[in-house]
Chain A
Amino acid sequence: MSEPIVTRTSATNALRANERRDFMSYMWGFGLALGLTLVPFALVQWQAMARDPLLITIAVLALVQTVVHFRYFLHLDRKRKREDLLLVLFSTSLLIIMVAGTIWIMANLAERMTPI
């Protein structure tokens, strides 16, 4: 009669392992995001770089941090159903087209309309 108890214990252990994995996901996400936040704030605080490389560094770190949040907080990765990732990628492409398009057209317009 002892076997079912053993079974239950090992099932509980498996659940604990899953819980630990989920917990570590949030810990990794928090740690990485913290680092990716501290670095650009420090760079700007102490003006550690020339302006253009600084702007590029801020942009790259922001994109990396976004991926970290999606991966560790929203648990979005290739293990999921593919539709979810497709939805995010499609929305991202729409965003890039509309945001980059708006900035391009409006900057061009401003340049052409500025009286010399």
Chain B
Amino acid sequence: MISELFKRLEFYLDARQNKEIFIYPGLNLGVEHSDAHTQAEATVFGFWVFLMSDAIIFGMAFATYATLLHGTADSPGPRELYHLGPIFIETLLLLTSSFTFGMASIAMKYKHPTSRLVGWLLITLVLGVVFLGMELNDFRAMFAAGGLPTQSGFLSGFFGLVPLHGLHVMAGCIWLVCMLGQIAVHGLDSETKLGLLRLALFWHFLDIVWIFIFSVVYLAGLA
């Protein structure tokens, strides 16, 4: 009788643990993080709305670039200014940083030691900073080859679009440093967890924007 009862309890707990209740986009913290999990629904949905409006801004920057693409005004065009090698490495850096942020999210969700979470976040930050450094180097090479934003419509469109993404990545890096500071000062409380959830969405979103930048701008420009 008693063992029957325990079996039922076991079954109930299993069901409770197995049943993931998804209430917001991105990796859900789950019932283990009761406070942050319930707060997250409205907070993360609001952030998701922001990301979608940001996507519209990027979309319009892409449309502007496409409109101005043929207006090179006898200054250097895509073939003279774009180099596939650095762009390929930058793509891998950003993709890997998305993966390492995913590992950080898992470390947070499954309550691994905080040091492991911080480690993954630091790797992500380094990858983001190296990406920015390489991108700045690309821009410098473009300037040296006569590709200044004032030269032509094409270059204005380019420098309206690609550095806009770079600025977002820079904002993401600064935000990441702020989150590391919050972890150091407050530990992993609900506020910090919610911040990390939103930053994860932001980071993955920027990687999606980059897919379109390397495809539409660089690959199509060199095809």
* A residues whose Cβ falls under 8 Å from a Cβ of B: 3-4, 6-7, 10-11, 14-15, 17-19, 22-23, 25-26, 29-30, 33-34, 37, 40-41, 44-45, 51, 54-55, 58-59, 61-62, 65-66, 69-70, 73-76, 79-81, 83-84, 87-88, 91, 94-95, 98-99, 102-103, 106-107, 110
Q: Is the CB of A33 within 8 A of B6?
A: no
Interface residues of B (CB under 8 A from A): 3, 6, 9-10, 13-14, 17-18, 20, 22-28, 30, 32, 45, 48-49, 52-53, 55-56, 59-60, 62-64, 66-67, 70, 84, 88, 91-92, 95-96, 98-99, 102-103, 106, 109-110, 201, 204-205, 207-208, 211-212, 214-216, 219-220, 222-223
Select one of B17, B32, B60, B223 contacting A51, CB under 8 A.
B223
Give the chain A neighbours of B92 by CB distance below 8 A: 34, 37
The 7 closest A-B pairs by CB, nearest first: A26-B102, A62-B215, A3-B6, A91-B52, A102-B63, A14-B17, A106-B67
Extra contacts, 19 of them, besides A7-B13, A81-B23, A87-B49 (Cβ < 8 A), are A10-B13, A18-B30, A18-B110, A29-B98, A29-B102, A41-B84, A41-B91, A44-B222, A55-B223, A65-B211, A66-B212, A75-B27, A75-B28, A81-B22, A81-B24, A84-B48, A99-B62, A102-B64, A103-B66
B62 in contact with A66 (CB, 8 Å): no
Give the complex CA separation of A95 and B52 in angstroms: 10
**Nearest A-chain residue to B212, judged by Cβ:** A62
In the complex, the chain A residue whose C-beta lies closest to that of B208 is: A69
Complex CA distance for A34 and B28, rounded to whole angstroms = 25
Chain B residues, Cβ within 8 Å of A62: 211-212, 215-216
In the assembled complex, the CB of A17 is this many whole angstroms from the nearest CB of chain B, namely 7
Which listed residue, A7, A41, A73, A110, touches B9 by the CB 8 Å rule? Answer: A7
- A76→B26 CA distance, assembly (Å): 7
Are B204 and A69 in touch, CB under 8 angstroms? yes
Known: A14-B18, A34-B95, A58-B215. A26 touches B106 (CB 8 A): yes
Known: A15-B17, A30-B99, A103-B66. A95 touches B56 (CB 8 A): yes
